[in-house]
Amino acid sequence: MKQKTSFYFVLYLVALVSLLDVITERDDAQREIAEILVKRISEAPELQVPDTLIWFTKDSSRALLKVSGLETATEKANIFYELKSLDGAMPEGLSPSITKDTEGNGILAGKIMEKGFYKLQASAQISRELPEELPESVRDLIRRQLGNEIPLTTKPVSFTLKVEGAGAAPPKLTLNVEPPKDDKWIVGSPYAKNIYVGGPSVDIVSFSSSDPRFTIVKDIGKILLEWANPIVTANPINITVSGQAHRGATPDLESASTTFTVIVTPPRWDPEPQPEAYWDVPFSFASGVRGLDANKFTVEILANGSTPVKTVSAVEYPFTFKPERTWTSLTFRVLSVVNTEMLRKEIPVKKPIAPQIKWAGSTWQGNDYLIKFTSADVGNGDVTVDNCTVIQPEGITSRLDTRRGKNFAMIVQNLHATRPSAIKIKVTVTGIGGSRTDQVTQSILY
């Protein structure tokens, strides 16, 4: 089965659309991202069932119909399974109703009285809703193609249920690790790993882990290995999980083991938050934890060390806000799903620095002399030109093309009449928060 792009990673890409407000191709970018989402959202889940399931007559048995591609808790709760017999009538003792576990996997259960080979087919249906996290403009583009709710049906999976008579050799116990077998993890977030169990029911198997820090929780068709508080490991650690069935069969059928590795590293920002913020200047936060899924953490933002600003998840990125003038610092705390602090960063909040003035050239226009300059505040916003005059020699008139913006042109008038060898100019600009810059420059004319 091909590897699918993470649903929440695609949502993260969509959130970046808000960064494109100043780009003329914003609508094209939204359409492209909408097309990515249409393909992702319209992908149906997939069922995985062994080609042959082995049960025994008069035994209460269960088997897991594993599903992948469910994106939300709602989909896991509302998935509907359908089971039908390819031989005609359903075998006595097997109900066509399939229940679910907490992950949305189907649970096939029954107690069949007669041995034989039964050919069955399973499928599942869900109704996928458009994610609320999407910008409304992107939702509209997707809604035109798919509607508000998208019915999806898995590809039907056919398999054989082999029911053997009492006394037949039971199926071998098998243990298979959920990929990848070489895991990388982050300190501060609980670690969990699924081990899929084949052969006997999980209920009659005892399990053990080579590392006592891992606890084992039994489920239908699998066990869950959990490490509540991972610590940094200098090298990968090997964990071996062993199982022992209790059916009185030969040792080769009753025991199994499997091994995987995990290395735990300190959390790191990705990317680092901006080093400082300024009053009234929009601040954009979009920092995650390197190597950790977006749905595994939240970020608490505090002003002055204790005043809550907002708690955000990565699917809301970028989160943009304006620091208030009473703030002196911003603190960012990364919290795991169990509310453990994983990372902390504090940055200063300052009065906005004064805007810079950059001279962009000069030229003659008939009797007038045109001087161009640019200026922007610390947030790359517009500035106001409070003063722009010729201070030497006296008596020379001038005008400014605009008082507000980033690009300016000063027109010095009728210089050919007086023919000064040079002029001296003074410019005063004001940016956000009242920050001000005065600058004097000289321009050689002849």
Q: What is the CATH number of the domain that holds 39?
A: 2.60.40.10
Domain boundary among 146, 168, 190: 168
287-304 residue pLDDT tens: 888 877 778 889 999 999
Average pLDDT over residues 47-76: 86
Q: Clarify whether residues 376 and 300 are in a common domain.
A: no
Domain boundary among 266, 285, 313: 266
Residue 308 pLDDT more than 90?
yes
230-261 residue pLDDT tens: 888 889 999 999 999 877 678 899 999 999 99
pLDDT band at 191 (very low <50, low <70, confident <90, very high): very high
pLDDT band at 443 (very low <50, low <70, confident <90, very high): confident
CB atoms within 10 A of CB 345: 16
User: pTM of the predicted model, to two decimals?
Assistant: 0.50
pLDDT band at 166 (very low <50, low <70, confident <90, very high): low
Q: Please state the domain count of the chain.
A: 4
Q: Clarify whether residues 179 and 164 are in a common domain.
A: no
pLDDT band at 3 (very low <50, low <70, confident <90, very high): very low
Q: Which amino acid is at 245?
A: A
Q: What is the CATH number of the domain that holds 314?
A: 2.60.40.1930
Rounded-to-integer distance, Cα 290 and Cα 110, Å: 46
Q: Clarify whether residues 211 and 254 are in a common domain.
A: yes
CA angle 288, 292, 298 (to 5 degrees): 50
Q: Which residue has the higher pLDDT, 200 or 131?
A: 200
Q: Clarify whether residues 24 and 140 are in a common domain.
A: yes
389-427 residue pLDDT tens: 999 998 899 999 999 999 999 999 888 778 888 999 999
Residue 26 pLDDT more than 60?
no
Q: What is the CATH number of the domain that holds 415?
A: 2.60.40
Q: Clarify whether residues 115 and 3 are in a common domain.
A: yes
Please give the share of the chain, as a percent, with pLDDT higher than 70: 92
Q: Clarify whether residues 48 and 131 are in a common domain.
A: yes
Least confident of 159-168, 178-187, 307-316, 363-372: 159-168
Residue 176: C-alpha distances to residues 70, 193, 194, 223 (Å): 21, 11, 9, 10
**Angle separating helix axes 26-41 and 136-146, nearest 10 degrees:** 50
Are the CB atoms for 279 and 324 separated by under 8 Å? Answer: yes
Q: Clarify whether residues 55 and 141 are in a common domain.
A: yes
Least confident of 1-15, 16-30, 34-48: 1-15
pLDDT of res. 13: 52
pLDDT of res. 373: 95
pLDDT of res. 28: 65
pLDDT of res. 42: 85
Closest CA to 348 of 362, 326, 328: 328
Q: Which DSSP category does 76 fall into?
A: H
Rounded-to-integer distance, Cα 169 and Cα 5, Å: 42
At residue 390, φ and ψ (nearest 5 deg) are -90, 120
Average pLDDT over residues 189-212: 90
Q: Clarify whether residues 54 and 85 are in a common domain.
A: yes
Please give the share of the chain, as a percent, with pLDDT higher than 90: 43
pLDDT of res. 95: 82
Rounded-to-integer distance, Cα 148 and Cα 334, Å: 34
Q: Clarify whether residues 61 and 141 are in a common domain.
A: yes
Domain boundary among 350, 375, 400: 350
Q: What is the H or E stretch that residue 333 is in?
A: strand 329-336
Q: Clarify whether residues 151 and 180 are in a common domain.
A: no
Print the domain residue range for 190.
169-266
Q: Clarify whether residues 123 and 224 are in a common domain.
A: no
Q: Clarify whether residues 377 and 330 are in a common domain.
A: no
Rounded-to-integer distance, Cα 360 and Cα 374, Å: 7
CA angle 273, 274, 278 (to 5 degrees): 130
Residue 171 pLDDT more than 80?
yes
Over the chain, what is the mean pLDDT?
86
27-59 residue pLDDT tens: 566 677 777 778 888 889 999 888 888 888 877
